Structure 1
Amino acid sequence: MPLTAWRLRLLMISLLTVSFLGALDHTVVATSLATIAGDLGAVQQMSWVLVSYTLASTVMLPVLGKLGDLLGVRLIFLASLVLFLVASLCCGLAQDITQLAIARVAQGIGSAGLHLMPQTIVGTVVPPRERPRVLSIIGAAFPVAILVGPLLGGVITDAWGWRWVFWINIPVGLIALALAVIAVPHVPGHSGRRFDIAGAVVLGISVTALVLGASWASADRWVIGVPVIVAAAVAAVALAVFILIEVRVSEPLVPLRHFANRTILICIVLSTVIGVGLFSVVSYVPTFVQMAYRTSATVSGLVPIATVFGMLVSTLFTGWLASRSGRYRMFPIVGTALAAGGLLIMAFLPPGLPLWAPMVAMALVGVGTGAFMNILVAVAQSAAPRSDTGSVTATVSLVRQVGSTTATAIVGGVIGAGVALGLPAGLDAATLTPAVVHASSAAVQAQVAELYTAVLSPIFIGLAIAYAVGIVAALLLPNRRLSDHFEPEPVPTAESATV
């Protein structure tokens, strides 16, 4: 049943608040990480504060998506929010790194629901044509959180202490919970269907091994040691077993029929391109700018800000356009082309140019990515049976997150190895910081700038190629129009992509 105008507005406010809460948590905590680790006396283990959260949120995406289909999105959404708030309380009460890591696992599970369920709810209660506009508004929480999160985390840590980085979630979350109880409608699930426990366990093992292996390889500057080989083998074997399970069970966790549907498959490819092409490198751009353009940390932050701001404006504008026209194919075509062009510009920028040059280039990447980031979720949902809305939404999100995590580790390892091999005499890669470089002679600074440019240029070219693959994929999207009304439950076939 369509929602009334006031109910839809209330729902959008509720989902936007929850999405912002989930997106903000990661960026706020990252700023406070050093303080947290020092206070708990666990500097060497501080990465587990992030790794435990990321692993839990990634592994639980397909599980929560399927549970939403079976039990109803409202129940999973409210349960995720409650778990997130309870885990935030426990994080702030943690007395050592072990307690904090365990609480972060629970918080990561809740965060997966906060990220996934708003999109699934939109796919369940909003007609296909309106979804790009609504999803773009909710999706705006992500770039806004990137912009304000680091500053907010620093302010809270300095003013109230690091525990309030977690506790601040509670009053905001309680308001969001009250709104959600009122605004999120009751949508019945398909409780007669069985949950794929074996598939969930095996996929969890595969994703965990993949993420851990990539993290270990990155930490060792992409030296392929025994732990990395074992992790890669476990991930590959578990993935093969998972596929065998999904082929045999009646209700698979990730229905493989999605991959036989051209529209859904292309949306999955495009989502992977976003994770690999943008999210893998954006965290390294400030260091690159500090070294290659010899700026301060504060000034270097202008480049990712330009990227995120471009993404924010683009996602809102294109979401509105897509809902207005019902057409969607042009947005990923233009978006991937713009992003590929921005990355190619970054690859060939000579060091020493004014800072506005990389800002413009990375803004192009942000505008291009934002042009289709949320639209492809709406398109994938419209191409799937309504009973699979949660699982198809989760699949699109999962491949983006796994692609981002894996590619980030690879990019970090390549940068670390390349810089270590080419550093001028007298500089140690283990203790290299922008401050050390800026305190060196002008000749050494110029050498380091050239080195970082030489190391990052092939990476930017490689990521531009990833977006070029996205251009080809986008050209293969069916040129259809999003429907103004809910479609009847389609019969799943190889081309049940009538959107």
Structure 2
Amino acid sequence: MTDTQRKLGILACLVTIVLAVLDTQIVSAATVPIVRDLDPAHGIDKIPWLVSAFSLASAAMLPLYGRLCDTLGAKPVFLGALGAFLGGSALCGAAPSIGWLIASRAVQGIGAGGLMSVTMVVIAQLAGPGAKKNKGAGTGGIVAGGGMAAGPWLGGFLADHAGWRWAFYVNVPLGIAALATAVVVLKLPRPATGRSVDFTGAVLAAAFSTALLLVTEWGGKQYAWTSPQVISLALAFACALGLFLRRQFTAAEPILPPSLFRIRELRLGFAIQGLTGAAMMGAIYYVLVYLQLVRGISSSSAGLYLIPMAAGITAVGIATGRLTERGWSERTFVISGSAVGTAAYLLLAATGPHTSLWQLRSALLLVGLGFGQLLGQLIQLVQQTAPRHQLGVATTAIRFFQTLGGALGATLFGTLLNRLYDGPGDVGSLVALRGADRVAGVTAYVSALDTVFLCGAVVMALCLLLALRLPRTRPVEAKPVEEPAAV
């Protein structure tokens, strides 16, 4: 590939990452017009499935995508994932009912799981001959983080000014352009033949991750933690996880090879990424809830407060990318990012009912500066360290652990918040309180929220401790296996 072809290929990958990540958040800001248009009588009860169907399908496919990349090659898997995402987006935009929209979101999620992981494999393989650093992978992580922060605002903007269907239709022309570009310019290595795909392991991975995500989605919300539904799902998760682990140690070509966890950088990188996913989702979600419940800011306007976070992620990502090219180690930025993230959460823990909104913006900027270092450098660290023939499974694994960590973090933080709240009614009724009850409720809520943010600081401090255990020596990039053909 020429240098121009490589740049076009990376651009196509970055566009698809933005589209996929935006769609994980974009629906949350468009729920009201969706319900009003498709099912004003009963649609509100089905809204959680619009988010769940997408996230469940996306997470369930991640381990399989990694193995398919290492078996079939990254290009056909990337094109297939992008095609599924575009088809799901078109079906979502044309949805005549809530049920149709939920099913289409699942199709879209199947494709999005690949776009948020396989693209990183493609970018890694697009590194020029003799390249010392996979700068594109770090950029992809930064773009993903920025898209996560910008999603709620963009969803609200499209819903208010163009109609909720354009939150999905906007993917189609951009996605088609990226698809055409990828078909024409990408010429990627084809793995050696004779390798198999452990579909049994993939099914078990999908089963335990789906059960876990449903427990975190339903527990304490749709159903009580002690309800038969949640207990059954928890048992299903435990059984599927046990079978999955057994399969990984017995399969000839495991979907998530245990050998990866024998590499210190990968083992620690996966753990830090999972904790980072939990902390980042907590920062985004609970700041938005605070702005709406305590400060009375609309959902679309609240999304604007995440712009400093997105700006911090982008700015620090560009800076760290250039510094690593000059010889700075990934370990340095993982440590620095964890420390800054800890400080950001401590600043958020000082939030009160009347805290200056500029102080809140400053805290979110600090959040972005911390997570921006982690999102880019952890992916780069994993790809620099992973054996070349396992690049796909290692790259998708880090995204898989981030997804599971985000789900667990949101649930644990939410449960802690509800238990700590000692005001009138419960957290859900806070918006309806008036007068003295409103003042007491807001005070109790903010006090509980500050404790949640302190727990977020503890999570980031744990990331810092793990980061300090990373080897000081720079990981040696693995030698490529024989890859005789390009597709």
Is the TM-score greater than 0.5?
yes
Change (3 A) 1:465 1:474: same
Q: Is 36-45 or 124-133 further displaced after alignment?
A: 124-133
How many residues in Structure 1 have an aligned counterpart in Structure 2? 478
Change (3 A) 1:324 1:477: same
Structure 1 segment 391-406 matched on structure 2, within 5 A? 391-406=393-408
Change (3 A) 1:145 1:373: closer
Q: Kindly indicate whether the alpha-carbon contact (under 8 Å) linking 1:293 and 1:353 is maintained by their aligned counterparts in 2.
A: no
Partner SS state of residue 349, structure 2: helix
Structure 1 segment 428-467 matched on structure 2, within 5 A? 429-433=427-431, 436=432, 440-441=434-435, 443-467=436-460
Q: Distance in 1 between matches of 2:20 and 2:46?
A: 24
Q: Kindly indicate whether the alpha-carbon contact (under 8 Å) linking 2:62 and 2:117 is maintained by their aligned counterparts in 1.
A: yes
TM-score, scaled to structure 2: 0.91
Q: Which runs of 5+ in 2 are unaligned?
A: 483-487
Residues 449-495 of structure 1, C-alpha deviations (whole Å, 9 max, x = no match)? 32122211221122211111111111111122366x763459xxxxx
How far the C-alpha of 1:94 sits from its partner, in A, is 2.4
Map of 1:217 onto structure 2: 219
Sequence identity (%): 28
Residues 223-248 of structure 1, C-alpha deviations (whole Å, 9 max, x = no match)? 33222122111111211111111101
Alignment of 1:11 onto 2:4: no
Map of 1:164 onto structure 2: 166
How far the C-alpha of 1:5 sits from its partner, in A, is 2.5
Map of 1:477 onto structure 2: 470
Partner SS state of residue 219, structure 2: helix
Q: Kindly indicate whether the alpha-carbon contact (under 8 Å) linking 1:15 and 1:118 is maintained by their aligned counterparts in 2.
A: yes
What value does the CA root-mean-square deviation take over the aligned residues?
2.4
How far the C-alpha of 1:263 sits from its partner, in A, is 0.8
Map of 2:479 onto structure 1: 487
Q: Distance in 2 between matches of 1:470 and 1:151?
A: 29
Q: Kindly indicate whether the alpha-carbon contact (under 8 Å) linking 1:289 and 1:300 is maintained by their aligned counterparts in 2.
A: yes
Q: Is 397-406 or 284-293 further displaced after alignment?
A: 284-293
Structure 1 segment 86-485 matched on structure 2, within 5 A? 86-126=87-127, 131-146=133-148, 148-220=150-222, 223-292=225-294, 300-301=302-303, 303-419=305-421, 422-424=422-424, 429-433=427-431, 436=432, 440-441=434-435, 443-481=436-474
How far the C-alpha of 1:294 sits from its partner, in A, is 6.2
Which one of the candidate residues 11, 15, 24 is aligned to 1:26?
Answer: 24
Map of 2:485 onto structure 1: none
How far the C-alpha of 1:99 sits from its partner, in A, is 2.0
Map of 2:44 onto structure 1: 43
Q: Is 327-336 or 361-370 further displaced after alignment?
A: 361-370
> What amino acid sits opposite 2:90 in the alignment?
L
Change (3 A) 1:286 1:430: closer
Residues 342-386 of structure 1, C-alpha deviations (whole Å, 9 max, x = no match)? 112222444433222232223222211111212111211221111
Q: Distance in 2 between matches of 1:431 and 1:324?
A: 54
Map of 1:82 onto structure 2: 83
Partner SS state of residue 379, structure 2: helix
> What amino acid sits opposite 1:480 in the alignment?
T
> What amino acid sits opposite 1:477 in the alignment?
L
Map of 1:495 onto structure 2: none
Change (3 A) 1:33 1:470: same
Q: Is 33-42 or 462-471 further displaced after alignment?
A: 33-42
Q: Distance in 2 between matches of 1:157 and 1:388?
A: 42
Partner SS state of residue 356, structure 2: coil
Q: Distance in 2 between matches of 1:104 and 1:191?
A: 34
Q: Distance in 2 between matches of 1:307 and 1:160?
A: 26
Residues 59-91 of structure 1, C-alpha deviations (whole Å, 9 max, x = no match)? 101111110110000000011111111121222
How far the C-alpha of 1:430 sits from its partner, in A, is 4.4
Q: Distance in 2 between matches of 1:301 and 1:119?
A: 27
Partner SS state of residue 30, structure 2: helix
Q: Distance in 1 between matches of 2:441 and 2:429?
A: 14
Q: Distance in 1 between matches of 2:290 and 2:371?
A: 21
Residues 257-276 of structure 1, C-alpha deviations (whole Å, 9 max, x = no match)? 11111010011011011111
Q: Distance in 2 between matches of 1:279 and 1:465?
A: 15
Q: Which runs of 5+ in 1 are unaligned?
A: 491-499
> What amino acid sits opposite 1:110 in the alignment?
G
Change (3 A) 1:460 1:431: closer
Q: Kindly indicate whether the alpha-carbon contact (under 8 Å) linking 1:133 and 1:319 is maintained by their aligned counterparts in 2.
A: yes
How far the C-alpha of 1:429 sits from its partner, in A, is 4.8
Q: Kindly indicate whether the alpha-carbon contact (under 8 Å) linking 1:335 and 1:369 is maintained by their aligned counterparts in 2.
A: yes
Residues 281-336 of structure 1, C-alpha deviations (whole Å, 9 max, x = no match)? 41121222444556665664454332232222112211221122152211011110
Q: Kindly indicate whether the alpha-carbon contact (under 8 Å) linking 2:121 and 2:391 is maintained by their aligned counterparts in 1.
A: yes
Q: Is 348-357 or 210-219 further displaced after alignment?
A: 348-357
Q: Distance in 2 between matches of 1:304 and 1:101?
A: 27
Q: Is 83-92 or 353-362 further displaced after alignment?
A: 353-362
Change (3 A) 1:153 1:302: closer
